[in-house]
Structure 1
Amino acid sequence: MTTDSTCRPQDIGHAPASDETIALGRLLDLDSEVLQAYLTDLTGWLAGLCERQPAHIVDLAGGTGTGAFALARRFPAASVTTLDLSPQLLHHLRKRASLLGVDDRVRGVQADLNEPWPPLDGADLVWAASALHHIADPGQALAQAFRALRPGGLVAVTEMDFFPRLLPEDIGVGRPGLESRLHAALNTRPPWDWSGHLVDAGFVAVATRPFVIDLKPPLPPVTGQYAHASLSLLRSHAAGLLAADDLAALDVLLDTDDPLGVLRRPDLTVRTTRTTWVGRRP
């Protein structure tokens, strides 16, 4: 992932700087923990669309393995190959695979998805979560996915429609509506739609489904860590886009000792929508 001047939250991450890469890895791990029910729903839906039980799954720009481990749980007979450019994230993925006891089935391979991919055994499912729009030529990437799949295999492309909303309207620091302004400043691109791109690459369009995530308080304590990691990442891109008072309010929310900080709040939510497009290789 990259950042640009018209940054959507999906564009944040996979940066070459190790400190930001580490922060991204932490956020990805928390995302998989907080949104485990969503991942269970998504992989269950995909299982119902498969013509056969997948034996080999390819995870594009899989980072620390949020998708890889969810897929490994859903399809216990499948091997999962995660392609990612970041050696730090892949190292983390391999450590997690070992801790989870799936290192015999989940492997990480360093690869630049803008270049020809490394040789892959015939895949039954190619998974691309918040990844395809970062590739310089998504059409070429989908063509490579088409070639990697066996006939009847699926490609599943997921995008975050908007970054999770985590805060109440009145956050108690005199800046009501802060989160809405933050999102408005960062979410400047139109929504993604990959249906036509899938057809252009030779896939038969199978289904499109939005998944609504609406987690209400009280939520587990890990939600505070998730909110802190998420807002920290957004805060790093908000300078110059928000008023000074809004930035100061964000800093209060991110203060680990402040009673109004997200690590201590009992009123956090997680509200977002993620959409998945599925195509099948004839």
Structure 2
Amino acid sequence: MTDHAHHHLAAAHGHAHPHEAELADLLDLDAQVLGSYLDDATQWAAGLAPASAGIVDVGAGSGVGTLALARRFPQAEVVAVDRSDAMLSRTVAAARAQGLDGRVRAVRSDVNESWPPELHADLVWASSFLHELTDPDRTMRDIHAALRPGGLLVVIEMDGLPRFLPDAFHDGLESRLHAALAQRGWNSFPDWRPGLERAGFTAVEQRLFPSVGRPTPELASRYARTFLGRMGPALEGIAPPSDLEALQHLLTDDGPGSPLRSPDLEVRGSRIAWAARRQ
């Protein structure tokens, strides 16, 4: 698997990679800053699924979606599925800290290989996950089979990378960097509707969830520096040297004039989601 910006499954065979803790921190930061999409998307799902739904969050990562679902569906059990023991441990610890541990459990599984046969659900949540799979069509069929009649699959993807900089900064630096990353397949995914329909799903709905984060300047700056810092290595050899130099200067400039220290720093993001029904 490639190391995309929101790569949920960063550990192979349960052994943590050195960058896994950093990735989990980034996922948590994203939820803290742009997490309004989680409120909106889980509310959307709650209008389509039963209140007592059995829920599976597949590719759960650090568990931000798992916990959002547990809060939105107070009568439901939520199962976090991931192939990383470290990520699942983090999810369980966060659930315990929020008083949700009685309704959240973890299942270690690599659905790239097969769907856990014991897992059946009324709602499956797959956020920034399907595009990481070797054979997403097969996994969508597996999910369709695992859903109870009338069950729902919600697929969420990042509709473009988060933005931190003014459009005019270095004559559109951020847009050029995002275009360069697209050449490396960062955040690349298809329109999932045809695949969902091939897998047997019906009544596919699509929604866009834009979000704007205006957290404390310290939190916004930390998220911006963390995310932009992960972009740097992937840009080597594809971005112009002048743009790489500008990015490096941005990341190392901690002066009062840095745009990443501005009290007006605004973080912009968007998610696109599909909800599909098993009849």
Tell whether the structures are fold-level matches, with TM greater than 0.5.
yes
> Structure 2: which 5+ residue stretches go unaligned?
none
Q: Which deviates the most, 88-97 or 244-253?
A: 244-253
Return the alpha-carbon distance in structure 2 between the equivalents of residues 13 and 240 of structure 1: 26
1:266 equivalent in alignment to 2:263: yes
Aligned to 1:130: 128
Aligned to 1:197: 195
Q: Do the aligned residues in 2 keep the contact of 1:252 with 1:261 (CA within 8 Å)?
A: no
Q: Do the aligned residues in 2 keep the contact of 1:166 with 1:271 (CA within 8 Å)?
A: yes
The one of 67, 70, 81 aligned to 2:68: 70
Q: Do the aligned residues in 2 keep the contact of 1:123 with 1:150 (CA within 8 Å)?
A: yes
Matches within 5 A, 1:139-178: 139-171=137-169, 175-178=170-173
Matches within 5 A, 1:1-282: 2-3=2-3, 9-10=5-6, 14=10, 18-50=17-49, 52-171=50-169, 175-188=170-183, 192-215=190-213, 221-255=218-252, 257-261=254-258, 263-282=260-279
Q: Do the aligned residues in 2 keep the contact of 1:161 with 1:191 (CA within 8 Å)?
A: no
Percent identity reads 45
Q: Which deviates the most, 254-263 or 16-25?
A: 254-263
Return the alpha-carbon distance in structure 1 between the equivalents of residues 110 and 259 of structure 2: 36
Q: TM-score normalized by structure 2?
A: 0.89
Q: Does the residue aligned with 1:114 lie in a helix, a strand or coil?
A: coil
Q: Do the aligned residues in 2 keep the contact of 1:150 with 1:281 (CA within 8 Å)?
A: yes
Shift of 1:13: 6.5
Q: Do the aligned residues in 2 keep the contact of 1:10 with 1:163 (CA within 8 Å)?
A: no
Shift of 1:63: 0.4
Return the alpha-carbon distance in structure 2 between the equivalents of residues 12 and 131 of structure 1: 7
> Does the C-alpha gap of structure 1 residues 231 and 28 become closer, same or farther in structure 2, counting only changes over 3 Å?
same
Q: Which amino acid aligns with 1:53?
A: A
Return the alpha-carbon distance in structure 2 between the equivalents of residues 261 and 101 of structure 1: 39
Q: Does the residue aligned with 2:220 lie in a helix, a strand or coil?
A: helix
Shift of 1:106: 1.3
Return the alpha-carbon distance in structure 2 between the equivalents of residues 12 and 101 of structure 1: 24
Return the alpha-carbon distance in structure 2 between the equivalents of residues 15 and 246 of structure 1: 31
Q: Does the residue aligned with 1:124 lie in a helix, a strand or coil?
A: strand
User: Root-mean-square deviation (CA), in Å?
Assistant: 2.3
1:25-63 Cα offsets, whole Å, 9 max, x none, are: 00110111112322111111111122x224311111110
1:165-212 Cα offsets, whole Å, 9 max, x none, are: 1111344xxx33211111010124565211111111111133111112
Q: Do the aligned residues in 2 keep the contact of 1:154 with 1:281 (CA within 8 Å)?
A: yes
Q: Does the residue aligned with 2:118 lie in a helix, a strand or coil?
A: coil
Q: Which deviates the most, 13-22 or 144-153?
A: 13-22
Q: Do the aligned residues in 2 keep the contact of 1:130 with 1:158 (CA within 8 Å)?
A: yes
> Does the C-alpha gap of structure 1 residues 126 and 256 become closer, same or farther in structure 2, counting only changes over 3 Å?
farther
Return the alpha-carbon distance in structure 2 between the equivalents of residues 243 and 15 of structure 1: 32
Q: Do the aligned residues in 2 keep the contact of 1:2 with 1:12 (CA within 8 Å)?
A: no
Q: Which amino acid aligns with 1:2?
A: T
> Does the C-alpha gap of structure 1 residues 261 and 13 become closer, same or farther in structure 2, counting only changes over 3 Å?
farther
